Chains A and B, each alone.
Chain A
Amino acid sequence: MDFDFYLSTIWSVLKALPLTLEIWFFGIAFGLIIATGLTWLRASGYKSGEYFTRAYVFVFRGSPLLVQLYLIYFGLSQFDFVRHSPILWPILRDPMYCTIVAMALNTAAYESEIFRGALRAVPVGQIEAAKAFGMSAFTRFRLVTLPIALRLALPAYSTEIILMTKATALASVVTIMEMMGTAQKIQHDTFRPIEVLTCAGVIYLLLNLSIARLFAWVEYRLSPHLRPPPEQSQQIKPVPEVL
Chain B
Amino acid sequence: MSANVAAAAQAASSPDDKAAISVKDLRKCFGDHEVLKGISLEAHKGDVISILGSSGSGKSTMLRCINLLETPDSGEVRVDGELIKMKQSRDGHQMPADIRQVERIRANLAMVFQSFNLWSHMTVLENLVAAPTHVLKRPRAECLEQAEALLKRVGIWERRNYYPPHMSGGQQQRAAIARALAMNPKVMLFDEPTSALDPELVGEVLRVMRSLAEEGRTMLVVTHEMGFARDVSSKVMFLHKGEVDSAGEPKEMFARPPTPQFKQFIANFNK
Q: Does B158 contact A (CB under 8 A)?
A: yes
CA distance in complex: A134, B130 (Å): 11
CB-defined contacts of A223 to chain B, threshold 8 Å: 121
B155 touches which one: A133, A228, A229, A240 (CB < 8 A)? A240
How far, in whole Å, are A229 and B163 apart by their CA atoms in the complex?
A: 8
Q: Which residue of A lies closest to B171 (CB)?
A: A236
State the CA gap A224–B107 with chains docked (Å).
Answer: 29
Chain A, Cβ-Cβ closest to B102: A134
User: Are A226 and B165 in contact (CB-based, < 8 A)?
Assistant: yes
What are the residues of chain A within 8 A of B254 when measuring CB–CB?
A: none
Q: In the complex the two chains form, what is the Cα distance from A89 to B251 in whole Å?
A: 84
Measuring CB to CB, which residues of chain B are less than 8 angstroms from any residue of chain A?
Answer: 67, 69, 99-100, 103-111, 113, 115, 117-121, 130-131, 134-135, 153-156, 158-159, 162-166, 171, 174, 179, 183, 189, 204, 207-208, 211
Q: Which residues of B contact A130 (CB under 8 A)?
A: 119, 131
Overall SS of chain B's interface: helix
Binding site for B on A (CB under 8 A): 123, 125-126, 128-137, 139, 143-144, 147-148, 151, 222-226, 228-229, 234-241, 243
Complex Cα spacing A222 to B163, Å: 12
Task: Using CB atoms, name the residue of chain A closest to B180.
Answer: A133
Contact (Cβ within 8 A) A131 B69: yes
Q: Given A132-B110, A238-B155, A239-B174, A225 and B207 touching (CB < 8 A)?
A: no
Q: Knowing that A128-B69, A129-B111, A223-B121 are A-B contacts, what are 4 other residue pairs whose CB atoms are under 8 Å apart, sorted by A's residue number?
A: A126-B118, A128-B117, A229-B163, A234-B158
Q: How far is the CA of A144 from the CA of B127 in the complex (A)?
A: 11
Pick the contact of A238 from B107, B108, B189, B204 — CB < 8 Å?
Answer: B204
> CB-CB < 8 A to A134: which residues of B?
103-108, 131, 135, 183
Residue on B with the closest CB to A144? B119
Cross-interface CB contact of B156 among A222, A225, A228, A236, cutoff 8 Å: A236
Expressed in whole angstroms, the minimum distance between the Cβ of B210 and any Cβ of chain A is 8
The distance in angstroms between the C-alpha atoms of A139 and B133, with both chains bound, is 11
Q: In the bound complex, do residue A123 and residue B120 qualify as a contact, i.e. CB atoms below 8 Å apart?
A: yes
Q: Are A225 and B106 in contact (CB under 8 A)?
A: no
Given A229-B166, A239-B207, check contact A125 B158 (CB 8 Å): no
Chain A residues near B115 (CB, 8 Å)?
125
Highest count of chain A CB atoms <10 Å: which of B105, B154, B155: B155
Which of B117, B134, B154, B208 contacts A143, CB < 8 Å?
A: B134
Q: How far is the CA of A235 from the CA of B117 in the complex (A)?
A: 24
Given contacts A139-B134, A239-B204, contact A126 B158 (CB under 8 A): no
- Within the complex, the shortest CB–CB distance from A135 to chain B, in Å, comes to 6
In the complex, A136 Cα to B101 Cα: how many Å? 11
In contact, A225 and B158 (Cβ under 8 angstroms): no
Residues of A within 8 A of B207 (CB): 239, 241, 243
* A228 and B162 alpha carbons, distance in the complex (Å): 10
Decide: B166 and A132 in contact? CB cutoff 8 A: no
The answer for the CA separation of A236 and B135 in the assembled complex, in Å, is 31
Give which listed residue, B100, B131, B158, B211, contacts A133 with CB less than 8 A. B131
Q: Pick from A128, A147, A226, A236: contact of B159, CB below 8 A.
A: A236
| A223 CB to nearest chain B CB (Å) | 8
- Contact in complex: B113, A225 (CB < 8 Å): no
